[in-house]
Amino acid sequence: MTTPQPQTAAAVPPPGCPAHRPAALFGAAVAEDPHGLYARLREQHGPVAPIELEPGVEAWLVLGYPELLELTRNEQLFSKDSRRWRVPAEGRLKPDSRLLPMTSWRPTLLNLDGAEHQRLRAAVSETLARVDHRQLRQATEAAADTLIDGWGPDGTADLIAQYARRLPLMVFTQLIGLPAAAGPHIVELISHFVDSSDKSVRANAEFQAILLDLVRQRRERPAADLTSWLLAHQAAMTDEEAVHHLVVIMVAGNETTINWTGNTLRLLLTDRRFRATLTGGRLTVSDALDEVLWRDPPTQNFPGRWATGDTVLGGQYISAGDMLVLGLAGANADPSVLTPDGVGGNRAHLAWGAGKHVCPAQQPARLIVETAVETLLHRLPDLQLAVPGHELAWRPSPWSRALVSLPVLYSAFTPPRTPPSERPAWTPPSPPSVSTPSEATSTPRTPASGRPGPRSWWSSLAGWWSGR
């Protein structure tokens, strides 16, 4: 750990100076110019900066590359168990706080340390490792072609609403064992409760019932899908644990893949170094994927860790129960790890986190995004932005780095590599119904299990992650 150096009188900010006040990690600033915000925080406070997550709710934003590695690797000092957080313990977190979805404790690999985390992580990691990459690429390409084929003849499209936001769920529904035809219905259900429409309560109940039906049917009739493999793993998950982790896979995988796809397409369409890629230039789609993970990672900040005792990190005194936010984009921009041109130049970025809780789905996510981008460029070879690049707007989320829209123009329309009649079907046997799910119940909870409030965990989490 680092030890703070005493400031000289000349270096101490005067009373009333903004440096004395925590920066707000919410609102327009973090959406419009996050890189500028992180640079100012680093200059004012060093690698660990005081922030507010909402008015009156303080935390620490870890911006230093080595400090973030220390934070994520030292489980004894920095726990994933949010029940250690002193803000709610002191009654300072509002019942309707937007921080609740991702800070409330749940029995998942996201919220556990030690042996229980290892048990659940092994189940998820080893399950994801069983995914056949050739089959996943084929399924992604087929989903991409289906979406592109459905666009009108006017030569315009919004690559966020009509492509990046729809494609991942079309793939994930098949991955977990729902039939391909269920994809559009699942997308519709999620759109209702994420956007808090008047159908959100019913849509959320139907979605959770679909997942529970899927788990119960796969208990009786396993198939070649993630749900069956998760249930068959020696971790011996309960039905409740399995549903919770399917939600984690769907939310984290879906939102991350959406943002990574959108941000990569934006880079390809706005950066001259990558524009040549559209016509066979030197820099590749793979290069663009890596640069996005360095500069504009799909998740720019992520909560969090909670201090198990008083300690020091990055020159800041951290008190027991303090929350620390992983500043993934900020740490990637740490001058100590950048090349002279300001780019990392390798895959040592922290977009996936680090330590024992590093994202276990990196390879499937990369394959989906790379295939989605390459398929789009093949199908629409003269693709170009419909508006100036500086007019593109970002979602007002301190967590996701996500575009609101990505309007494009095109005239050429290349046929798909694989004709529709020859596209491989990836539909597991005996799929559960998606139209008449059973009542959303669950297996008995353990005493420590969290119980959803009026708005479900999935619903709140999806909205939180996407900045809605």
Is it the case that residue 304 has pLDDT exceeding 90?
no
**Residue 397 contacts residue 299 (beta carbons within 8 Å):** no
- DSSP character at residue 135: H
> What number is the average pLDDT over the span 95-120?
87
- Which domains does the chain show, CATH number per domain? 1-103+300-344 (3.30.43.20), 106-298+351-462 (1.10.630.10)
> What number is the average pLDDT over the span 159-176?
92
Sheet holding 407-409, edge to edge: 156-158, 407-409, 384-385
Instruction: With residue 371 as reference, give the H or E element that holds it.
Output: helix 362-379
Per-residue model confidence (pLDDT) at position 1: 43
Average pLDDT for the chain: 82
**Residue 165 contacts residue 184 (beta carbons within 8 Å):** no
> What number is the average pLDDT over the span 307-313?
97
Token readout for 126 is: 């080893």
Is it the case that residue 50 has pLDDT exceeding 60?
yes
Of 50-54, 92-96, 137-141, 362-366, the poorest mean pLDDT is in: 92-96
Is it the case that residue 8 has pLDDT exceeding 70?
no
**Residue 250 contacts residue 243 (beta carbons within 8 Å):** no
Token readout for 374 is: 């390459």
Q: List CB contacts of 123: < 8 A, sequence separation 6 or more.
A: 230, 233, 235, 237, 245
> What number is the average pLDDT over the span 67-78?
96
* Residue 322 vs residue 396, higher pLDDT: 322
Q: List CB contacts of 36: < 8 A, sequence separation 6 or more.
A: none
Per-residue model confidence (pLDDT) at position 207: 78
Per-residue model confidence (pLDDT) at position 428: 38
Question: For 227-285, how does the pLDDT look when each residue is reduced to its tens digit (9 = 90+)?
Answer: 999 999 999 999 989 988 988 888 778 889 999 999 999 999 998 887 655 555 567 89
Token readout for 122 is: 């092994």
Cα distances (angstroms) measured from residue 311 to each of 30, 53, 325, 355 = 28, 21, 16, 19
Per-residue model confidence (pLDDT) at position 456: 46
Residue type, 302: F
Is it the case that residue 221 has pLDDT exceeding 60?
yes
> What number is the average pLDDT over the span 188-192?
66
Q: What percent of the chain has pLDDT over 70?
A: 78
Per-residue model confidence (pLDDT) at position 364: 94
Question: For 410-456, how does the pLDDT look when each residue is reduced to its tens digit (9 = 90+)?
Answer: 998 888 887 776 665 544 334 444 444 444 433 333 333 333 333 44
> What number is the average pLDDT over the span 375-395?
94
Q: Which of 154-158, 206-210, 339-343 has the highest mean pLDDT?
A: 154-158
* Residue 56 vs residue 30, higher pLDDT: 56
**pLDDT class of 70 with cuts at 50, 70, 90:** very high
Q: What percent of the chain has pLDDT over 90?
A: 57
Per-residue model confidence (pLDDT) at position 341: 63
Question: For 354-376, how does the pLDDT look when each residue is reduced to its tens digit (9 = 90+)?
Answer: 999 999 999 999 999 999 999 99
Give the bridge partners for 59, in sequence order: 51
Is it the case that residue 457 has pLDDT exceeding 60?
no
pTM of the model: 0.83
Q: List CB contacts of 46: < 8 A, sequence separation 6 or more.
A: 64, 314, 315, 316
Residue type, 419: P
Q: List CB contacts of 360: < 8 A, sequence separation 6 or more.
A: 121, 124, 125, 128
**Residue 227 contacts residue 128 (beta carbons within 8 Å):** no
